[in-house]
Amino acid sequence: MKKRMNKYLLAGLIITGIVLVITLIGIFWTPYPPTAMKFGKFQPPSLEHLFGTDNFGRDIFSRVLKGTGTTLTIALATVAIGAAVGTTVGAITGYFGGLADDILMRLNDALTAFPSILLALLIISIVGPGSKYNVVIALGIVFIPSFARVTRTSFAALRDVNFVTSARLMGAGSGRILLVHLLPNIMRVLLPAVTIGFNNAVLAEASMSFLGIGVKPPDASLGYMLSEAQGMLKAGPWYAICTGLTIVLLVFGVGLIGEGLQSRNREVV
Amino acid sequence: MGDDNNPAVLETQQTSVDGNEENSRLLTPEKQLVLEVRHVSAGYRSGGFAGRGGKYTEVLHDVDFVVRHGEILGLVGESGTGKSTLARAILGLLKPEQGEIIHHTPRPQIIFQDPYSSLNPAYSAWWSVEEPLRIYGKYDTEERKRRVRDMLERVELPEECYMAKPDELSGGQRQRVSIAAALIRRPRFVIADEPVSALDVTIQAQILKLLRQLRDEFDLSYLFISHDLNVVYQLCDRVLVMKSGRIVEQGPVEEVYDHPKEEYTKRLLEASA
């Protein structure tokens, strides 16, 4: 398969790449300590404080750097859980069919029937709020059904394709067929689904933190900061704007990658 | 792994031993049977819950024939008469409702019509040919390499195509790769399900020549499924005529073509003339 670069993919990779590099730097170095409260309150953006300062006199740019890291970690872990479990469920149901398919997919339907944020709330109320690991668990479970559905269709479509039949005749076991023969062919639907899932995870985490069931201090995610910023819209509008724009940039970049991957699939087909 | 998982290798298999293909011609008497299909009826179930119940539609009715060692047996009939269903039943992918299918050779293989779906689009030609050997697991990397190269040379695939993905290959090249993959474990009986129907006429002739050549090199027997009576005439020794899931006529190609007994066979021949 000729992998052709297209402008969506290129733009997405560049934007996401820049965000990633800045975030990585933010892990080791920020212009100021993100929790230091030693600057003037509500200073507007300047060369000294790129994103200004907040009500405690903290440097918002430094906080955004840290927050992006937290948000990225949560979103990546969420998508990893959702994609891994979802693809496994999709493989079992799509490839084997039968009773397992009937049971698992009805269960899947049941999960899908809940609005995702409500389901996340429900799971959080079971595992307990406040820790970023619990946020990841809650969101990860919420994300399983969409991955299961998408991959199930592909696995089912490939189940009786000739090259799979041939592999079976050669004596390949189901594990080998699923992992070696089918999984690489599922990637074309899985990768765009991962990018969409990643964006949904960023936004879902932001919503949860906004509602107060996400991360708690000293952890600060972008969503948590946005919920903080809403109380200071008048005194320091730059707080909400800069944090919000960072989320937009992150989601936009990954969204472009997803769009690029999908249009590349269309080209190949 | 290996033969244990192969649904088509039944307990009744009488020849075995991988690797002594050079000697096997001497061991196998002329006119020995490689396959017996005995009064087989088979079909599909649809509907039902969790694989149970549902409606049974019979496709094959009391199909009975043998494939002799070294022969190319044609199977002709209009589309939808159950030719591919018969192939699936022979390969063990579909369980007969009645009758039995007795293989006298291990590891029967199939070459499909559509060279687009018979190769995994994610991997190179070389990978697809090597995969059966990896699954078999008895050869080391060097031995696999040697066998794959030898096989790709025998099917006359240009060397620059070895590492190409299927979508970089032409239909004829793909079919060569499919043939190489089917033959790499040295089966003695191969089903070719419309192997040239998707190809241009000139490429068809090349592939048919290759199939004949490989039959001699590897001492193969084919069941050659086709709706193209001219191709069958060129290639096959004997022919089965199938209509609505029944074998209505069989015999040596010349005999059936020159003196068809059945009205259906006559119509088929007229249609292809």
CB B225 within 8 A of CB B235: no
Quick check: B6 and A171 CB within 8 A?
A: yes
Element at B103 (helix H, strand E): strand B98-103
Across the interface, whether the CB atoms of B50 and A99 are under 8 A apart is answered yes
d(CA A71, CA A67): 6
pLDDT of residue B12: 40
Reported confidence tier of residue B53, pLDDT bands at 50, 70, 90: low
* Amino acid B49: pLDDT: 58
Give B240's pLDDT tier (boundaries 50, 70, 90).
very high
- What per-residue confidence (pLDDT) applies to A268? 57
B250, B241 contact by CB (below 8 A): yes
Instruction: For residue B30, give Cα distances in angstroms to A188, B14, B46, B58, B69.
Output: 51, 15, 43, 35, 7
- Is residue B35 classed as helix, strand or coil in its secondary structure? strand
Q: Provide the pLDDT confidence category of residue B26 given band limits of 50, 70 and 90.
A: very low
A218 prior amide bond cis, ω within 30? yes
In this prediction, residues A67-81 reach a mean pLDDT of: 90
Tell me whether residues B110 and A169 touch, CB distance under 8 A: yes
Contacts of A134 (CB under 8 A, 6+ apart): A124, A127, A128
Q: Confirm whether the ipTM is greater than 0.90.
A: no
Q: What is the mean pLDDT of residues A198-213?
A: 85
User: Mean pLDDT lowest for which of A183-192, B20-29, B136-145?
Assistant: B20-29
pLDDT at position B21 over 70? no
Chain A neighbors of B8, CB-CB under 8 A:
169
Domain boundaries, chain A: 57-245
* pLDDT tens for each residue of A47-64: 777 777 777 778 888 888
Query: Residue B152's pLDDT band (boundaries 50, 70, 90)?
Result: very high
- Strands B33-46 and B55-68, sheet pairing: antiparallel
Residue B87: what pLDDT? 94
Per-residue pLDDT band for B184 (boundaries 50, 70, 90) equals very high
Smallest Cβ–Cβ distance between A185 and the set B50, B121, B136 belongs to B121
- Chain A nearest-CA distance from B229, in A, is 24
B134 with B185: CB under 8 angstroms?
no
- Report how far apart, in Å, the C-alpha atoms of B124 and of each of A3, B158, B175 are: 14, 14, 14
Radius of gyration of chain B (CA): 19
**The CATH number of the domain covering residues in A57-245:** 1.10.3720.10
Q: Say which residues have a Cβ less than 8 Å from residue A251's Cβ, sequence separation at least 6.
A: A199, A202, A203
**Predicted confidence (pLDDT) at residue B18 exceeds the cutoff of 50:** no
Burial class (CB in 10 A: 0-12, 13-18, 19+), B86: buried
pLDDT at B20 over 90: no
Confidence category of residue B52, pLDDT binned at 50, 70, 90: low
Contact A165 B2 (CB under 8 A): no
Q: Read off the pLDDT of each residue in A7-15 and give the average, rounded to a whole number.
A: 91
Please tell me which residue, A268 or A24, carries the higher pLDDT value.
A24
Phi, psi of A25 (to 5 degrees): -60, -40
**Average pLDDT score over residue span A129-157:** 90
Report residue A178's pLDDT band, with 50, 70 and 90 as the boundaries. very high
- CA distance linking residue A81 with residue B175, whole number of Å: 40
pLDDT at residue number A267: 67
Which residues of chain A lie closer than 8 angstroms to B50, CB-CB? Answer: 98-99, 102
Please give the average per-residue pLDDT across B142-164, as a whole number. Answer: 96
What is the rounded average pLDDT of the residues B91-110?
Answer: 92
Strands B109-111 vs B189-193: parallel, antiparallel or unpaired:
parallel
* Residue-averaged pLDDT of chain B: 86
Q: Which of A75-79, B7-11, B39-43 has the lowest mean pLDDT?
A: B7-11
* Residue B51 DSSP label: T
User: B175: closest CA among B196, B200, B153?
Assistant: B196
Summarize the confidence of residues B63-67 as an average pLDDT: 95
Q: Is the pLDDT of residue A66 over 70?
A: yes
Q: What mean pLDDT is predicted for residues A40-46? A: 75
Which one of B93, B135, B181 has the shortest CB-CB distance to A176? Answer: B135
Q: Which residues of B touch A102 (CB under 8 A)?
A: 49-50
d(CA B270, CA A53): 90
What average pLDDT score do residues A12-28 get? Answer: 89
Helix, strand, coil percentages in chain B from 3-state DSSP, rounded to 5: 40, 25, 35
Is residue B119 over pLDDT 60? yes
Mean pLDDT of the region A191-200: 90
A35-44, A130-139, A244-253, B111-120: which range is least confident on average? A35-44
